[in-house]
Amino acid sequence: MSGRLTTHVLDMSVGGPAVGFRIELWRLGGGQEASVRLKEIRTNGDGRADAPLLQGEELQAGLYELIFAAGEYFTARRGVAESELFLDAVPVRFRVGDTQAHYHVPLLVAPGGYSTYRGS
């Protein structure tokens, strides 16, 4: 089995998938190594990426960060006034140790808060 990284976003304010939610994936550097933005995606109609964010040899051991553009989503898709926003960008930092494992990092988000966990 080859390892992979996946995600999805649920909009808890409507009880369904967050469609068109922008997500950036970063591999974080350590010491002299610079952090690198690996990709940017938007979620599909199911609130998911169309394909794994990383898969096989792309998934390397190390520290990663997903940055979920919550403020952008809630102003553009849900009509929340910018002055009323609580969340802007939601960073989720996590470590990949086993490159053969499946790392699923979902985000459950509402205008006033969020939750995440390691899914399956």
pLDDT at 65 over 80: yes
Per-residue model confidence as pLDDT tens digits over 13-50: 999 999 999 999 999 997 778 999 999 999 999 999 99
Per-residue model confidence as pLDDT tens digits over 104-120: 999 999 999 999 999 98
The whole-number pLDDT of residue 76 equals: 93
Which residue in the block uniquely carries the two structure tokens 């591999």?
27
Q: pTM of this prediction?
A: 0.94
Average pLDDT over residues 80-99: 95
Which residue in the block uniquely carries the two structure tokens 């992979």?
4
Q: Which domains does the chain have, with CATH numbers?
A: 4-116 (2.60.40.180)
Give the span between the Cα atoms of 63 and 93, in whole angstroms.
7
The whole-number pLDDT of residue 34 equals: 92
Q: Which helix (H) or strand (E) holds 71?
A: helix 70-78
Which residue in the block uniquely carries the two structure tokens 């898709």?
77
Contact 49, 22 (CB under 8 A): no
pLDDT at 1 over 80: no
Pick from 74, 65, 77: nearest CA to 40: 65
The whole-number pLDDT of residue 46 equals: 98
Give the span between the Cα atoms of 59 and 118, in whole angstroms.
16
Contact 5, 27 (CB under 8 A): no
